[in-house]
Chains A and B, each alone.
Chain A
Amino acid sequence: MNGALGVVALLALLTLGVPIGVAMGIVGMVGLMLLLGPEPAIIKSGVVLFETITRYELGVLPLFLFMAHLCFAAGASRDFFEAAARMVGHRRGGLAIASVAGCAGFGAISGSSLATAATIGLIGLPEMRKRGYSDALATGSIAAGGTLGSIIPPSGALIVFGILAEQSIGKLFTAAIIPGLSQALFYIVTIVLLCRWRPSIGPATARAPWSERRAALVRISDLGALILLVLGGIAFGWFTPTEAASVGATGALLLCAWRRKLNRASLQEALAQTLRTTGMIYVVIIGALIFAVFMSYTGLADQVADFMDGLPGGQLLAIVIMTVLLLLLGSVLDGLALMLLTTPILLPIVTNLGLSPIWFGIYLVRTMEIGFVHPPIGINLYVIQGIAKDVPLGRIFKGVVPFLAADLLHLSLLIAVPALALALPGWLHQ
């Protein structure tokens, strides 16, 4: 009962516009005061504050953010899109495929759906519209492609999940590689099928000569090497995620200097953007950890787990119920709030059902991503409309519908075949 009341209070505070971290923290703090008394609640909150802001593992987040902002300053997003456009732009729907590939490439640096959609959108959208692509395909492919930024490692969402669920961030990153790449493949197949059905929506353009293609590939080779070093280093156990983030940020700094893009202004901008996001995330994590302590005392997760255990359909029905719940909540909550609210409640249920917490992290982020592209929240749709102001929101949504269908199919595959996420960490003995 206390747990359910806490969840209702949290949803009410979030709706009233209370910052996400504060809403979770205050519900957790007040809940602990009621359950344990004011003194333990205050002391526990103080412990969470100090332990969070001195936590070595959390250093991974600002360092990866710094790396992303430096790569952005070095022109990574444009280079990724242009390389993909040179390679496949001449095919029907080729620029839309290039946008998805650009999103996947930039996602391997940025760790954020919104940043990926915004940066690739700024480059890819004008290009596609200039070449006669339909608005629906152009906007839909980038809005959906942008969500790749949340799952392709290093993913900010997976880092936060790893901290909350006390799971290995390195293992989560490795587990996300195949789902991220297969998601991109699903989008590409969607574009191919759409253009085969209605060729006019993505007309073929002139083929770039091989000299241009080679030059575009050479331009992204340094970025590719940096991504391989960082992700390969984590996957093969050369670095911990925090070490990989530091090496990646140092590499990005050198890359920026190598490309002659490093100056006082670009460095200050990268640092300022990193600190702004870092401050916001630390407050969110502190609040979420206090809320999680409160939830563990209420026993809500155990009660829900017992209920799920009693269901006749077993594991599968439980996952279907969770998926429907997450998709419904994703319609009214944004991705971060959804993850923070549901992790302390659903994770014990998942482990009780005998499912892997690593698989759950990938599944949760995948479900969260779908919320980025469906109304009424669908933040990526608004980002794309901000770039293409003359395209009505309805048309952008129409464009994203086929990709949403691909998303649901991909999510079903992830549920049916957990090995999609768990095989790679297993092969690498993580």
Chain B
Amino acid sequence: MAELNGHHGGGQTRGPLFYIGAAGLVLAMAVETVAVLGRHAGIPLLGALEIIQACILLMASAAMLSATMNNGHATVTLLTTRVSERARQYLRAFANLLSALFFVGLSAGALWLAVESWNDYEQSELLHIPFRPLRIVSLVAAGAIAAVFLRDMWRSLRGRP
């Protein structure tokens, strides 16, 4: 049973991922607030949106990986809470396998796009923030999430939580 703000999937790792995600979130908040104040004061902060987009990418990538590492994804538990422990382990392994395949698919798509656009030197309009590193971050995040799901599948099959 999942709900937007209510899923409690284990403790949050306060490692590098936490600090990357937190930095992205706080920076996005600060830049946007300064931009709003600046706009109302007649001193617009040019390119704020581009900085915020980059911050959101960092925050979202770290948050998705962190949620995966902490088993924090939303699931429907109607069946899984009513079967034996052994069956639950197999269901968990199956869910982890599908999850890994999904993120492998996303990684492949991200890689494809990165390769296609590599020589285009894409960048944002005002601040010329290059897209290459952003694409690499999304690719690495999707790949890492797939790897975590594969690890979890292996653990589920071996009966480890």
Question: Could you tell me which A residues sit within 8 Å of B by CB distance?
Answer: 13-23, 25-26, 29, 41-50, 52-56, 58-59, 62-63, 65-66, 68, 110-115, 118, 149-150, 156-157, 160, 238-239, 242-243, 246-247, 249-250, 268, 271-284, 286-287, 332-337, 372, 376-377, 379, 382-383
Contact = CB atoms under 8 A, between A and B. Distances in A.
Contacts of B95: 16-19, 22
Contacts of A157: 4
Nearest to B114: A46
Point out which of A13, A156, A272, A286 has the most chain B C-beta atoms below 10 A from its C-beta: A272
B56 A56 contact: yes
A44 B109 CA distance: 7
Contacts of A149: 5
B56 A17 contact: no
Contact of A14 (B28, B33, B76): B76
A157 B94 CA distance: 28
Point out which of A23, A48, A150, A271 has the most chain B C-beta atoms below 10 A from its C-beta: A271
Given A16-B95, A22-B99, A246-B33, A282 B60 contact: yes
A42 to B, nearest CB: 5
Contacts of B77: 17
B46 to A, nearest CB: 15
A53 B35 CA distance: 21
Contacts of B113: 43, 46-47, 50
Interface residues of B, number: 71
A111 B78 CA distance: 24
A278 B29 contact: no
Nearest to A332: B78
A108 to B, nearest CB: 14
Contacts of B5: 65, 68, 110-112, 114-115, 149, 156, 277
B134 interface: yes
Nearest to B61: A53
21 contacts: A15-B76, A17-B80, A18-B98, A26-B101, A49-B138, A52-B60, A53-B57, A59-B56, A112-B3, A114-B3, A246-B32, A246-B33, A249-B29, A275-B12, A276-B9, A276-B67, A278-B25, A283-B73, A336-B4, A379-B1, A382-B1
